[in-house]
Amino acid sequence: MKLITHATVVTFGDNHRVINDGAIAYDEDKIHAIGTTEELKARFPKAKAKNLNGKLVTPGIVNTHMHLYSTFSRGISLKDAPPENFTQILERLWWRLDKALTKEDLYLTAMIPLMEGVRNGVTTLIDHHASPNYIKGSLSILKDAYRKCGVRGSLCYEISDRDGQEKCNEGFEENAAFIKSLKSDEHDMAAMIGLHASMTLSEESLKRASDLSKELKTGVHIHVAEDQADNVDAINRGYRSVVDRLHKFNLTGPENIFVHCVNCDEHDISTLALTNTNVVHNPRSNMNNAVGCAKLEKMMAEKISVSFGTDGMSASPLVDLWTANILHKHQARDPRKAYGEIWKMFTVNGPKLASKMFKKKIGTIEEGAAPDLVIWDYIPPTPVTADNTLGHLTFGLPFARVNSTICQGKTIMEDGKLTFLGEGEEEEMMAKSRELAAALWERF
């Protein structure tokens, strides 16, 4: 049994509380107890205790939408004129980048943001992968990177018709093979069926995805109405909207993740609410692509489970919480907006989605929950209470350094040092990454 003591324990979850001079007893299976330092020292006298001297401890952070493969885009120069709209961003950047990825690139493109995530306290990361010229076996390479870092992961391959029937078939096969390869006792790894977006999927492909989802009892992870172009495409095919089209193919529902939903109207939002479909909000990505501002308040008033993703902008959804806080106030010209929504998304909805996916209580510090913890180099300058934690989460933690990250009871970062790396290994990886990225930029 391991024990951390003299911590400011911030639990998150439905019964959020703050324990000053708190302690947590855990092993690699679960959190066994939480309480004051005095209580837990008396209960576990033989446990090895680590004194945190008042540092803040939160649950491990959950990122519900990411593209690890975007790593080599940092600093890339486009070969055409700057994109004027979202479709051109896809055509001139992302669909060129993913086609240029080779087998050799995949491990490092995953390792680097996973390490960045660990440095920011991320212990669960749901990814959406595309590499059309290396599809078969791609998810296993990503899995190796997750295993190396000791982070929980949910993987899927992005099926699309945009590169022809053969690549589309391969996408289906990779998802199915990876889903079938996971064993029931692999609590650190999950899988979904990845779909790019309605606008690059034919009627046949959506039907096939729906059948596969039913057959394998696995949800789909798809971009939805990110830009109005997605709706225009659905309307041209005879549907009311993207959500209407996906709903008619039985692709809505509590097992599925609809990413963005920026351009969803009230009718779409009630369909998402009635079907308990999960939505992921990625404010930095939406602002960067200039696609609009999701109707967050409306979606959450309808009790849709909305959580935070980073969509390739970085590995840390805490920065998206920070962004959402100011974006929705700015958008509504009302300083009262966003507080309630961002708190629930970050501390309740993201953890609940992960808990369902990994069949284990994730993202909350309580007895029986997964032993995923973040120790922050953040000694609060003002009192922390259950009622004011959001103030620290919004204005303090995004600028604080993570001291240590614990996932599945293992310390994967200690005092700022990634424990899964050997001496000089990171420098070697970064040098190799720069070399591979430069070669990819040539092919791009």
Tell the smallest beta-carbon distance from residue 67 to Zn ion (Å). 6
158 binds Zn ion (CB under 5 A): no
Pick 8 or 285: Cβ nearer Zn ion = 285
320 binds Zn ion (CB under 5 A): no
According to DSSP, the residues that pair with 220 across neighbouring strands are 193
98 binds Zn ion (CB under 5 A): no
Distances (CA, A) of 203 to 30, 122, 214, 242, 333: 44, 37, 17, 12, 41
Residue 245 CA neighbour count, 13 Å, CB half: 29
Count interface residues toward Zn ion (CB under 5 A): 1
Pick 227 or 311: Cβ nearer Zn ion = 311
Tell the smallest beta-carbon distance from residue 13 to Zn ion (Å). 27
Tell the smallest beta-carbon distance from residue 441 to Zn ion (Å). 22
Tell the smallest beta-carbon distance from residue 311 to Zn ion (Å). 4
Strand positions, DSSP E, 18-162: 18-26, 31-36, 48-51, 56-59, 61-66, 122-127, 152-155, 158-159
Of residues 232 through 291, those in contact with Zn ion by CB under 5 A are: none
Q: Dig out the tokens for 61 from the structure.
A: 């952070």
Q: Distance (Å, rounded) from C-alpha 367 to C-alpha 39?
A: 14
366 binds Zn ion (CB under 5 A): no
Tell the smallest beta-carbon distance from residue 419 to Zn ion (Å). 30
127 binds Zn ion (CB under 5 A): no
Torsion of CA 273, 316, 71, 114, to 10 degrees: -100
Binding mask 56-95 for Zn ion (x = CB under 5 A): ----------------------------------------
Nearest Cα to Cα of residue 37 among 24, 28, 56, 55: 24
Exactly one of 170, 244, 311, 372 binds Zn ion (CB under 5 A); that residue is 311
Tell the smallest beta-carbon distance from residue 186 to Zn ion (Å). 25
Pick 67 or 245: Cβ nearer Zn ion = 67
Tell the smallest beta-carbon distance from residue 128 to Zn ion (Å). 6
Of 21-29, 248-256, 303-311, 408-416, the window that binds Zn ion (rule: CB under 5 A) is 303-311
| Mutual angle of helices 138-149 and 165-181, in 10-degree steps | 40
3-state secondary structure of 402: strand
Nearest Cα to Cα of residue 155 among 196, 190, 109: 190
Q: Dig out the tokens for 327 from the structure.
A: 């974006």
Residues that bind Zn ion (CB under 5 A): 311
